[in-house]
Structure 1
């Protein structure tokens, strides 16, 4: 595939969609495509780690945060996601909660402390722009970008058939990326059966 950066993606999206007159709308189409991809895609390249400082058990999430993968207390103890009601002490157990909840763009941790937590999370795809012409997705799966853009152009044209065909190709490309990600993570893993065995 010839796609390697912002400019080549623009050219190919125009060719594949049959529209060479939409270059001025390309940033809008690209932003919409990335918005949709961020909603559903979760692969290793999207993972980041950050130290989040807390004040009274509350810390600000990174600006590119999508979803928590692992949250560790300052002492390395894993924290589990809890419903906000349980975290705020209004649950029925009567025991103090130990865990976290995401509230807007913040993370609330109990028990409250001022210690930093360690957050491993899925981050948004770095936006592709003329100033930042490539990212991990253009390097690893440029076809995902291409079909996502062709879909956005077709939606703008109000061409349901073209949009449906592009969406099917995008989903197929994303499925291939997901399969490669699973193989990367689990390809050499052994199956372990928990509990008692005969």
Structure 2
């Protein structure tokens, strides 16, 4: 069975792009590709749970935070995301929190009645480097990495046609990963329509 990692990706990206002179730029290409992956992917392998301590209704988000999936107050009550202006209009203290807003790298809840939150969130893909040569994405979907790198190399070469072709392949690979994730999560799920029915 083939093992995919940082070193094999360097070889494959060079071969697929027709460039054997990119080793000195490879780390940068990987970083740029990962920025795009983090913008577009939201799959189960990216999910994390963290307990966040709060001070005066605010707490610092995890360093790898991308997007909240669910925020729970003590007792397991779900908090609702609210626009900052709406959240700021709520009374600042007293009572259990009912909503939250993300401000920079911090989360703010109002009212300020909780000491900690349970945060379920999407985390950044762990960076692939020579020192950390594997992560869940390259193990699960090496084609996403490969086409992402070929795209970055083509952009560096200023070859729009090659970049466009690689981007199309990358998007198809990401869509396939998303579809596999949906099947994993909802394969046997039933559709339930909420609310009143006639």
Asked if TM exceeds 0.5, the reply is yes
Partner in structure 2 of residue 64 of structure 1: 64
Superposition pairs of residues 5-154 of structure 1, within 5 angstroms: 5-89=5-89, 98-154=98-154
Root mean square deviation of aligned Cα: 1.7
For residues 179 and 36 of structure 1, what CA distance do their matches in structure 2 show? 18
- Secondary structure in 1 matching 2:69: strand
User: Unaligned regions of 5+ residues in structure 1, if any?
Assistant: none
- Determine helix, strand or coil for the equivalent of 1:78: coil
Change over 3 Å in CA distance of 1:190–1:114 after alignment to 2: closer
Contact 2:90 2:111 in 1 (8 A): no
* Stretches of 4+ aligned residues off by more than 4 angstroms: none
Q: What SS does the aligned partner of 2:48 have? A: strand
Alpha-carbon distance in 1 for matches of 2:102, 2:197: 39
**Shift of the alpha carbon at 1:197?**
3.3
SS in 2 for 1:88: helix
Superposed displacement of residue 114, structure 1 = 4.9
Tell me which moved more, 176-185 or 97-106: 97-106
TM-score (norm 1): 0.94
TM-superposition CA deviations, 1:146-198 (whole Å, max 9, x none) = 00000000000000010000000000000100100110111100111223334
Structure 1 counterpart SS, 2:146: helix
Check conservation: 1:54, 1:115, Cα contact below 8 A. Answer: yes
Question: How many residues are matched?
Answer: 194
The gaps in structure 2 that reach 5 residues or longer are: none
Secondary structure of 1:184's counterpart equals helix
Task: Check the 8 A contact 1:50/1:118 in 2, yes or no.
Answer: yes
Partner of 1:163: 163
2:179 maps to what in 1? 179
